[in-house]
Amino acid sequence: MRSLARAVAGLAAALTMIFAAHGAAGLTRTDYSEVELVAERDAIAPGETMRLALRLRHREHWHSYWLNPGDSGLPTEIALALPPGFAAGAIEWPAPHRIPVEPLVNYGYEGEFLLPLPLTAPADLRPGGEVTIRALASWLVCEKICVPEEAELTLTLPVSERPGAPVPSVAALFADAARARPVPSPWPAEIAGNGDTLTLRLAAPELAEARLDGLYFFAADPNALDHAAPQHATREAGALRVELRRGVDRGKPVAPLEGVLVVEERLADGMAARQAFAIAALPSPPSATHAAVPAADAPAGTGGILRAILFALAGGLLLNIMPCVFPVLFVKALSLARIGQAERGRVRAHGLAYTAGVLFTFTALAAALLAIRAAGNAVGWGFQLQDPAVILLLSFLMAAIGFNLAGLYEIRLNAGIGAGLAERGGLFGAFFTGMLAVIVATPCTAPFMGAAVGLALVEPPAIGIAIFLALGLGMATPFALLSLFPGLARLLPRPGAWMARFRQFLAFPMFATAFWLVWVLVQQSGADGAAAALAGILLIGLAGWCIGLMQQGAGRRLAGGAAALALGLVLALPWLPVAPRDPPWRPAATASEGSVQWARFAPGMIEEARAQGRPVLVNMTAAWCITCLVNERTALSSPEVAAALRAHDVLALKGDWTNRDGEIAAFLARHGRAGVPLYVLYSGKPEAEARILPQILTESILLEALTRL
């Protein structure tokens, strides 16, 4: 009887262990997949490294994606929450398969498979207990449509003194994943480029002599290759050459290329074998036969660079009429009218100092942009406005300028900030005013700027900075002309009492800009951000009033103390937690019948719609982009445009770049742009080229473009 009791107890303990290892995780079913978090062993020992895996099983004909999804899609992501002391590595991606979705090619997996990753337990882990691992998995599953899915998973493992035994239910899947895992290539590899093609050369006599059934190179970088283009392999003495077609990186210098080479070989017994090799190919050293690159293969060509510089000059010139820049420029111009009778040398010095301030700030902005891009981050024009703290500081600056223009206190802009100083101070004020004009212009994208800035961020740094300097020269041109040719100041109205009233009027565009920035902050950080901004503006107004009292000689000590306290509180506000959040999104189903039915932009939606013969309109926008908001209120909200989109069955996609979004940044870069707005219209024919619409949209431009469909 006791033996039977011990047997039952032992069976119960075994079942408890099995349940702990598997039942806690469970099998989660979504609309199109089954997913589970599994381990290769039924227990974990102190200091042991074992493999966890995300086990996925899709519906028939449905697939999810590899590290590089190919022409469309998103890679699967696994976010782990581990017990203290545990560490996990990256996903050990099995070699993918080509998944044609004519005319595109994607890379991924169908059926049932594992995505393993290594898990290491701490050496001081005590046996006899158990550990629970939690994971949030997200993946995109596609057939003719794509559906994003996610699941929260858990796995509980007993802690034993020795490594546990393999789990029978997943042992075969772990073995398949191990066989599909790429092994380091034993062969030296080189990559060379010529125009739109790349040649991958492997010093691999074994492959050159093997009976190959198939060979395909999967690049890890989504931009390196044209995924749908055929790959041609040729044999030469002791080596294998694979001809590849370049992707969106065409025209750039040849860079190291990493990826997976999948080889399918016929064995001597007639069986087929599939093996994957991790390749890291370095650019071939230049030789006498291909040392020189023809001018036609240069990144943009001389003509393209000159055109970008001209566009930058025109865009910079148009920045001057933006509502937040115009008051600063106009008040500065009136100051020249006031000192117009002074010696020409002083007037020209002011103009040169202002121009130097503009160019210095544009150069600093270009250097920051290029450095961040070189570090591998996707940013563009207006990138700093994706930081709520910058928006907060800009709203304070606009309010401070507005209070100054309204006469609450005097920091005269008529000689730049620093009026009343000696001539050196006046020149510093002019320099600072140039800096200020650029800072307040950053939320704006003028016509012609998009293509120019986009090219600046992909060209070598010297060319990029030259384009930004052209943008600065364009912006500085009106004031520079007034200073170099003082006679032009006669075109301005004569100085008089009207100037004080007009200056006060110019405060209102600055207040409007400050209120708009507060609205942007609400989109980024919600009510907390708005409260910080409004509190700061109130304190700036109080400090300005106190400074005004001091300047009038009333209660200087008390007013000075109050002003210092108020400004100190203002400087503390940007340190409050105003973290970015997802911008509010109104689903298309809530839109009225006469408005455009926008869907939220997601990678892959364009290709899927075009594969079904449906046109697509993409609207890339941001809450801090004035040009975007104007276009939204005029052309894109037109009932006629909405009717035309419905008549042509156009899928309207909106991407919101108010906060940082790598997918939107990548989309902008693919179309040669570094900022918003960007409007792209695709026809329902996948082979047809996309049409980029002007940055300043009108209803007639949109209707004409839709008519061409």
For residue range 270-282, what is the model confidence (pLDDT) as tens digits? 666 788 999 988 8
Q: How confident is the model at residue 44 (pLDDT cuts 50, 70, 90)?
A: very high
Instruction: Please state the rounded mean pLDDT for residues 21-44.
Output: 80
Most confident of 56-60, 184-188, 425-429: 56-60
Range scoring the smallest mean pLDDT among 123-137, 314-328, 355-369, 672-686: 314-328
- Signed CA dihedral, 517, 518, 520, 521: sign only: positive
pTM here is 0.42
Q: In terms of domains, do 201 and 174 share one?
A: no
Spatial distance between the Cα atoms of 101 and 74, rounded to a whole number of angstroms: 15
CB neighbours of residue 491 within 10 Å: 8
Which three-class secondary structure state does DSSP give residue 238?
coil
Q: In terms of domains, do 95 and 241 share one?
A: no
The CATH number assigned to the domain holding 641 equals 3.40.30.10
Q: In terms of domains, do 146 and 75 share one?
A: yes
Q: Is residue 520 part of a domain?
A: yes
Please tell me the predicted confidence (pLDDT) of residue 450.
56
Q: In terms of domains, do 352 and 496 share one?
A: yes
Chosen domain end from 285, 319, 353: 285
Spatial distance between the Cα atoms of 635 and 640, rounded to a whole number of angstroms: 9
Beta carbons within 8 Å of 1's beta carbon, 6+ residues apart? none
Spatial distance between the Cα atoms of 616 and 593, rounded to a whole number of angstroms: 19
For residue 704, is pLDDT > 60? Answer: yes
For residue 634, is pLDDT > 70? Answer: yes
Please tell me the predicted confidence (pLDDT) of residue 452.
61
By the 8 A CB rule, do 111 and 141 touch? no
Chosen domain end from 178, 204, 232: 178
Spatial distance between the Cα atoms of 89 and 118, rounded to a whole number of angstroms: 5
Spatial distance between the Cα atoms of 564 and 700, rounded to a whole number of angstroms: 54
Please tell me the predicted confidence (pLDDT) of residue 374.
59
Q: How confident is the model at residue 497 (pLDDT cuts 50, 70, 90)?
A: low
* Nearest alpha carbon to residue 221 among 195, 192, 254: 254
Q: Which domain holds residue 529?
A: 301-575
Q: Is residue 690 part of a domain?
A: yes
Please tell me the predicted confidence (pLDDT) of residue 708.
81
| Digit-coded pLDDT (tens) for 112-166 | 999 999 999 999 898 988 999 999 999 999 887 888 899 999 999 999 999 899 9
Q: Is residue 10 part of a domain?
A: no
Spatial distance between the Cα atoms of 102 and 106, rounded to a whole number of angstroms: 10
Please tell me the predicted confidence (pLDDT) of residue 623.
74
Spatial distance between the Cα atoms of 524 and 622, rounded to a whole number of angstroms: 10
Gyration radius of the chain's alpha carbons: 32
Please tell me the predicted confidence (pLDDT) of residue 454.
59
Q: In terms of domains, do 25 and 45 share one?
A: yes
Which three-class secondary structure state does DSSP give residue 416?
strand
Please tell me the predicted confidence (pLDDT) of residue 413.
42
Please tell me the predicted confidence (pLDDT) of residue 137.
93
For residue 212, is pLDDT > 50? Answer: yes
Instruction: Please state the rounded mean pLDDT for residues 246-259.
Output: 80
Query: Tokens 């960007």 map to which residue?
Result: 678
Q: Phi, psi at residue 636, to the nearest 5°?
A: -80, -10
Which tokens sit at 50? 């074992």
Q: Is residue 1 part of a domain?
A: no
The CATH number assigned to the domain holding 252 equals 2.60.40
The CATH number assigned to the domain holding 39 equals 2.60.40.10
At 603, the amino acid letter reads P
Instruction: Please state the rounded mean pLDDT for residues 547-555.
Output: 72
Beta carbons within 8 Å of 650's beta carbon, 6+ residues apart? 614, 615, 616, 617, 644, 706, 709
Please tell me the predicted confidence (pLDDT) of residue 299.
39
Query: Tokens 């061409």 map to which residue?
Result: 708
CA angle 100, 101, 104 (to 5 degrees): 85
Please tell me the predicted confidence (pLDDT) of residue 22.
38
pLDDT > 70: percent of the chain: 70
Instruction: Please state the rounded mean pLDDT for residues 678-702.
Output: 84
For residue 260, is pLDDT > 90? Answer: yes
Instruction: Please state the rounded mean pLDDT for residues 660-665.
Output: 74
Query: Tokens 């169908």 map to which residue?
Result: 110
Most confident of 184-193, 504-513, 547-556: 184-193
Q: Is residue 585 part of a domain?
A: no
Please tell me the predicted confidence (pLDDT) of residue 300.
44
Q: How confident is the model at residue 75 (pLDDT cuts 50, 70, 90)?
A: very high
Please tell me the predicted confidence (pLDDT) of residue 606.
86
Which tokens sit at 357? 């301030």
Q: In terms of domains, do 331 and 480 share one?
A: yes
Q: In terms of domains, do 380 and 529 share one?
A: yes
Q: In terms of domains, do 271 and 311 share one?
A: no
For residue 687, is pLDDT > 60? Answer: yes
Q: Is residue 597 part of a domain?
A: yes
Chosen domain end from 541, 575, 609: 575
Spatial distance between the Cα atoms of 482 and 503, rounded to a whole number of angstroms: 19
Question: How many residues can be counted in the chain?
Answer: 709
Which tokens sit at 445? 């994208």
| Digit-coded pLDDT (tens) for 414-432 | 433 333 332 334 677 778 7
Q: In terms of domains, do 563 and 421 share one?
A: yes
Q: In terms of domains, do 595 and 652 share one?
A: yes
For residue 697, is pLDDT > 60? Answer: yes
Please tell me the predicted confidence (pLDDT) of residue 6.
46
Beta carbons within 8 Å of 314's beta carbon, 6+ residues apart? 447, 448, 474
Please tell me the predicted confidence (pLDDT) of residue 182.
92
Beta carbons within 8 Å of 448's beta carbon, 6+ residues apart? 311, 312, 314, 315, 318
What is the 8-class DSSP label of residue 597? -
Please tell me the predicted confidence (pLDDT) of residue 422.
29
Q: How confident is the model at residue 592 (pLDDT cuts 50, 70, 90)?
A: very low
Q: Is residue 78 part of a domain?
A: yes
Range scoring the smallest mean pLDDT among 65-79, 326-340, 350-364, 679-693: 326-340
Most confident of 50-54, 197-201, 211-215, 520-524: 50-54
Strand partners, 49: 120
Q: In terms of domains, do 305 and 388 share one?
A: yes
- What is the number of domains present in the chain? 4
For residue 514, is pLDDT > 90? Answer: no
- Which class for 68: exposed (0-12), middle (13-18), buried (19 or more C-beta within 10 A)? buried
By the 8 A CB rule, do 362 and 473 touch? no
Which three-class secondary structure state does DSSP give residue 673?
coil
For residue 360, is pLDDT > 50? Answer: yes
Q: Is residue 669 part of a domain?
A: yes
The terminus-to-terminus CA distance of the chain in angstroms comes to: 85
| Digit-coded pLDDT (tens) for 594-629 | 578 888 887 778 888 888 888 999 998 887 676 777
pLDDT > 90: percent of the chain: 18
**Average pLDDT score, the chain:** 76
Q: In terms of domains, do 557 and 601 share one?
A: no
